[in-house]
Amino acid sequence: MLATRALRLVGKRAISTSVCVRGGHGVAKVEDYTLPNLSPEQASLKEKEKGSWAALSDEEKIALYRISFKQSFAEMTQGSSEWKSVVGGMFFLIGFTGLVVLWQRKYVYGPVPHTFEAEYKEKELQRVLDMRMNPVEGFASKWDYENKQWKK
């Protein structure tokens, strides 16, 4: 009766939780904390491990290490050259963005206002000086009104 009740619940659960019961995938993977299936040499090595470790050769010790651990610390913590791809990609995309901006300048934006024309700017400058804008320390203070030129 308990079994049928349990089976009904398994059916109602999402697929992922019912598969997890077998430890095939998920956070606590069973491969991470059990020994893998051992070949006959590995099995005999494991038997030898029960005796004195001084009797093991270096190769045997390394083989025992590799049974339990896929990568050594050195292999695990080594860097990669991925950063070069990342920086290269960054520069490329920034460059591409520059091209897009230039294209926009030419084909998307209309002309700048007439207030940017040289003739207009000259009249603007004259007006600024006539109004004595910032005469103490700012703009007009740099103009020599007697000699009609910029102060040296």
Partner 1 sequence: MFRAVFRLSATGARSLARSRPCYSAPLASRCYSHGKVETDEEFDARWVTYFSKPDIDAWELRKGMNTLIGYDLVPEAKILDSALRACRRLNDLASAIRILEAVKDKAGPHKDIYPYLIQELKPTLSELGISTPEELGIDKL
Contact positions vs partner 1 (CB under 8 A): 33, 49-50, 52-56, 58, 61-62, 64-65, 67-69, 72-75, 77-78
Minimum CB distance to partner 1 smaller for 4 or for 80:
80
Amino acid in position 130: D
CB 63 within 8 A of CB 45: yes
The residue (of 49 and 135) whose beta carbon lies closer to partner 1 is 49
- Can you tell me which residue has the tokens 């998307």? 108
In which region does residue 143 sit, left (phi positive, over 0), alpha (psi from -120 to 50) or beta (all else)? Answer: beta
**Cα gap 105→99, rounded to integer Å:** 10
Q: For CA atoms 109, 113, 114, 116, give the dihedral sign.
A: negative
Shorter beta-carbon distance to partner 1: residue 33 or 83? 33
Minimal distance, residue 79 CB to partner 1, in Å: 11
Q: Quote the least distance from Cβ 55 to partner 1, whole Å.
A: 7
Tokens describing residue 37: 């299936």
Shortest distance in whole angstroms from residue 78 CB to partner 1: 6
The DSSP element (H or E) to which 150 belongs, if any, is strand 149-150
CB closer to partner 1 out of 13 and 70: 70
As measured in angstroms, the least distance from the Cβ of 26 to partner 1 is 18
CB of 63 to partner 1, least distance (A): 10
CB 67 within 8 A of CB 37: no
Considering beta carbons, is residue 45 or 140 the nearer one to partner 1?
45
